[in-house]
Amino acid sequence: GAGVSQTPSNKVTEKGKYVELRCDPISGHTALYWYRQSLGQGPEFLIYFQGTGAADDSGLPNDRFFAVRPEGSVSTLKIQRTERGDSAVYLCASSPTSSTAFSEQFFGPGTRLTVL
Amino acid sequence: GNSVTQMEGPVTLSEEAFLTINCTYTATGYPSLFWYVQYPGEGLQLLLKATKADDKGSNKGFEATYRKETTSFHLEKGSVQVSDSAVYFCARGTGNQFYFGTGTSLTVIP
């Protein structure tokens, strides 16, 4: 079956613009995670969804970042008034359950965002 | 705080050499521990995991043992191959969050 997909694979935008990044999780996976990976760093947790609700958004860096998952499947990460420091690879992962003790996270290929 | 510290790279080894990549963690409670691998041009994928103290995770000849007393989860392989060249990430999961290390790049030369 299909894995986690993310679109676009690359996004170049100008400072101050609005961007949306999309994640299609594995069908049936209830948990969905967004991460940000800067060059030379490990993925940094942003937000976690269980179903349609954001169960934990403590990793979002500021109020310019927002994510939704209205039907409990596809999720969109939205970034307003982009800044050069937002440039990174944004990773999405899904999991059949929310328990990290028993469930593997399956990662998408990421969206590389470049803010000029 | 909660963090994961892993050995800095890059690491370059000859084929059939022994590999160790160190990983230590700080956490409250009893996290689950993971090693993820990222092969060139591919996404992150789970290599192995351990969910409680003294558990040993193993896969593809790699092993790591959950050591609560030293808060460590070092990755080892007895004989590396060229195809093991990749970036390796140690991670711990607590509640709904994963915390990743910075990654260790491994290059295996024939």
Amino acid at residue number B4: V
Contact (CB<8Å) B102/A59: no
Whole-number percent of chain B with pLDDT over 70: 97
Residue B1's pLDDT is 52
Q: Which of A30, A38, A44, A100 to mutate to test the interface with B (most CBs of B within 10 A)?
A: A100
Interface contact B45-A44, CB threshold 8 A: no
Q: Which pLDDT belongs to residue A41?
A: 87
> Which of the 8 DSSP states describes residue B84?
G
A5-19, B13-27, B49-63, B94-108 — which is least confidently predicted? Answer: B94-108
B103 touches chain A (CB under 8 A): yes
> Looking at residue A56, what is its pLDDT?
87
Chain B hits for A51, Cβ within 8 Å: none
Partner-chain residue, chosen from A50, A55, A107, that has the shortest CB–CB distance to B44 = A107
CB contact under 8 A, B102 and A107: no
* A13 has a pLDDT exceeding 90: yes
DSSP sequence for A68-94? E-TTSS-EEEEESS--GGG-EEEEEEE
How many CA within 13 A on the CB side of residue A12?
Answer: 1
| Tokens 């160790």 sit on residue | B20
CA torsion, points A59, A67, B101, A94, in degrees to nearest 10? 130
* pLDDT score recorded for residue B98: 81
Burial A44-55 (b: 16+ CB within 10 A, else e): bbbbbbbeeebe
Contacts of B103 in chain A (CB under 8 A): 40-42
State residue A97's pLDDT score.
Answer: 76
Contact criterion met (CB < 8 Å) for A109 and B102: no
Summarize pLDDT for A62-84 with one digit per residue, the tens.
999 999 999 989 999 999 999 99
Residue B67 has pLDDT above 70, yes or no: yes
Please report, as a single letter, which amino acid is at residue A70. Answer: P
Cα–Cα dist A21/A3, whole Å:
17
Contact B32 A108 (CB under 8 A): no
Contact across the interface for B95 and A41, Cβ inside 8 Å: no
- Residue A31 C-alpha, separation from nearest chain B C-alpha, in angstroms: 9
Residues B10, A40: Cα–Cα separation, whole Å: 11
Percent of chain B at pLDDT above 90? 75
Q: Which 8-state DSSP code applies to residue A59? A: T
pLDDT score of B2: 57
The pLDDT of residue B88 is 97
Quick one: average pLDDT of A25-30?
92
Asked which of A57-61, A93-97, B20-24, B28-32 is least confident by mean pLDDT, the reply is B28-32
